[in-house]
Amino acid sequence: MSMFRTIGGALVVLCTAAIASVPASAQQGQKPNIILIVSDDFGYGDSGPYGGGENRGMPTPNLDRLAAEGMQFLSFYAQPSCTPGRAAMQTGRIPNRSGMTTVAFQGQGGGLPAAEWTLASVLKTGGYKTFFTGKWHLGEADYALPNAQGYDEMKYAGLYHLNAYTYGDPTWFPDMDPELRAMFQRVTKGAMSGNAGQPAKEDFKVNGQYVDTPVVNNGPGVVGIPFFDAYVEKASLDYLDRNARSTQPFFMSINFMKVHQPNMPAPEFEHKSLSKSKYADSVVENDTRIGRIMDKIRALGLDKNTYVFWTTDNGAWQDVYPDAGYTPFRGTKGTVREGGNRVPAFAWGPKIKPGSKNSEIVGGLDYMATFAAIAGVKLPENDREGKPIMFDSYDLTPVLFGTGKSPRSEWFYFTENELSPGAARVGNYKAVFNLRGDDGASTGGLAVDTNLGWKGAQKYVATVPQVFDLWQDPQERYDIFMNNFTERTWTMVTISESIKKLMKTYVQYPPRKLQSESYSGPLTLTEYERFQTVREALAKGGIMLPIATGN
């Protein structure tokens, strides 16, 4: 089955009706509500169902309950860093299609193109009300903000990674050049709110202090990192209260800043973990806030007709240990290893079997097709500007409802702005291509086992790939590509064919230019130096691999 097939289904538009005050139980006769909760940099091994929780000094009773009452995913994939991971979830497209391939910084401008479909804009075609709160990190231009990307309401949207809010803070970086600090203070936007069709306004600034004064002299005040997620929780609970009796289904995108570094737990959560570390306290805080949202859903009677999905944006950032999550896999955030891409995820709802587990290849890309299927709408054939568009998303409702298996059999791991993947998984076999050396062509900036490649372009040599059997070796320790006992050079035939099909889609559906004004755009189809050198190296050993053409 092709990776790129989109779902079928009829386009359904709800008739306009007067919204009366009706019992929440009346929602059982309408389309389900959908809620997506995303934590930041949450480790695969941090919550109880994945071997963490109380075992690691950070109890997660609410995530534990979510898993016990729903489905846990064991091979769920994100992208290697924040912006690409969130773009993939919101658009259902690999990041280089939308141009959202690199981490967005303040002052860069740009952002998610207006032509892209998002979860919200697609669900609105099915009559859904849409709401966004928390970390966005998909650009700061007006056209790129949530309230311009299909969300009816945007409340307390954070436009950057958490530590970006410390750049202009003199107590964090007293030795910073004053002019540079002034620049950061000038261009860094705080928490943004606004409804669709209206200008966004800044609710308050955000800094790295223990301060919580959202209003000063009847204008925007300052809220410190420790308190930001309290506002995300408050906005979420308020929205649930306001919409519990609505006859119109709703979609909520709830995005916490925790547990991205620097972890500064809110005062009520300091030393509440068993280990008493700031990271563990922040995990307890994140779990508690998720639990309060779930409790509100149950208390309002919305649990009978609401699906909740929880995950994180990328793998654990172990390069900033100890202020980081844990993963049992090799690598870290910012790499093509499992540690940078395989993440925890749960799904919860009325038709999902409690306590179920799934180990098939699935990922954040699949939210788009899955939510569309739940809502009974068809994925668009053209983008919002009328040009043909393709989605890399699969409908996972057969998996969720126990009626079938995941149609996905492959996953591609990308390193920033390269169009060819740095690694690819087909079935249980994974090939890793961008191996380090002292000579050769530049990579997209990320390394294989550490994200220190963000310091600048790295080099690689023309060498054969590494191949791992992720069933027997999920930690990617034993390269079996040319091992005398378990030699698996033949795996490159199917992996290469998958990459070839992927590359050909770029011809029919050209990727967009990178959306940050600081970048010139993605590589062209003629610049696949790495894959070409790998192919040539294999050819010397008698292994002939096809490569994509412009046909």
Q: What pLDDT does 14 receive?
A: 33
Q: How many other C-beta atoms can be found within 10 angstroms of the C-beta atom of residue 297?
A: 22
pLDDT digit string, tens, across residues 71-107: 999 999 999 999 999 999 999 999 999 999 888 888 8
Long-range CB pairs of 163-166 (<8 Å, 24+ gap) are: 163/260, 163/261, 163/262, 164/105, 164/106, 164/188, 165/206, 165/207, 165/208, 165/225, 166/207, 166/208, 166/225, 166/262
What is the average pLDDT across 458-487?
78
pTM (global) more than 0.75: yes
**Looking at 153-167, 319-333, 472-486, 489-503, which range is the least confident one?**
472-486
Q: How crowded is residue 502: how many other Cβ atoms within 10 Å of its Cβ?
A: 20
The mean per-residue pLDDT over the stretch 9-28 comes to 40
pLDDT value at residue 422: 87
Name the band, by pLDDT with cuts 50, 70 and 90, for residue 388. very high
| pLDDT exceeds cutoff 80 at 454 | no
Percent of the chain whose pLDDT exceeds 70: 82
* DSSP H or E stretch at residue 91: helix 82-91
Distance CA 115, CA 275 (A): 47
**pLDDT the model gives residue 459:** 53
pLDDT at 488: 76
Give the pLDDT of residue 418.
74
For the segment 257-284, what is each residue's pLDDT rounded down to a tens digit? 999 999 999 999 999 999 999 999 999 9
pLDDT-wise least confident of 9-13, 298-302, 330-334? 9-13
- What's the mean pLDDT in 395-424? 92
Q: Which of 7-11, 277-281, 351-355 has the lowest mean pLDDT?
A: 7-11
Query: Looking at the predicted structure, is the pLDDT value of residue 331 above 80?
Result: yes
pLDDT band at 482 (very low <50, low <70, confident <90, very high): confident
The pLDDT-based confidence of 201 (bands split at 50, 70, 90) is very high
243 vs 486, which has greater pLDDT? 243
Please work out, in degrees rounded to the nearest 5, the angle formed at the alpha carbon of residue 28 by the alpha carbons of 27 and 33: 60
User: Which residues have CB under 8 Å from 257's CB, separation 6+?
Assistant: 40, 134, 135, 158, 162, 225, 228, 229, 232
**CATH assignment of 30-408, given 3.40.50.11140, 3.30.70.141, 3.60.20.10, 3.40.720.10?**
3.40.720.10
Q: Which amino acid is at 394?
A: Y
- Kindly write down the DSSP assignment for every residue of 356-409, as one continuous string: EEE-S-EEGGGHHHHHHHHHT-PPPSB-TTS-B--------HHHHTTSS--S--
Beta bridge partners of 363: 77
Least confident of 51-60, 188-197, 329-338, 344-353: 329-338
pLDDT tens for each residue of 220-255: 999 999 999 999 999 999 999 999 999 999 999 999
Domain ranges of the chain: 30-408, 412-540
- Of 236-245, 364-373, 504-513, which gets the smallest average pLDDT? 504-513
Q: What is the pLDDT of residue 492?
A: 87
What was the pLDDT predicted at 486? 66
Beta pairing class for 129-135 and 71-77? unpaired
Residue type, 205: K
- In this predicted structure, the answer to whether residue 472 has a pLDDT above a threshold of 80 is yes
Q: Poorest-confidence range of 5-9, 42-46, 401-405?
A: 5-9
Q: Determine the pLDDT at residue 323.
A: 93
Instruction: Name the nearest CA neighbour of 260 among 85, 450, 475, 474.
Output: 85
Distances (CA, A) of 151 to 30, 145, 197, 234, 448: 20, 9, 10, 18, 36
Q: Above 60 in pLDDT, residue 461?
A: no
Would you call 309 helix, strand, or coil by DSSP?
strand
Best CA proximity match to 316, nearest among 450, 455, 471, 160: 450
Residue 195: its pLDDT value, please? 98
Looking at the predicted structure, is the pLDDT value of residue 20 above 80? no
Burial 396-417 (b: 16+ CB within 10 A, else e): bbebbeeeeebbbbbbbbbbbb
Mean pLDDT of the chain: 86
pLDDT for the residue 548: 36
Query: Is the model's pLDDT at 533 over the cut of 50?
Result: no
Which range has the worst mean pLDDT, 23-37, 57-71, 172-186? 23-37
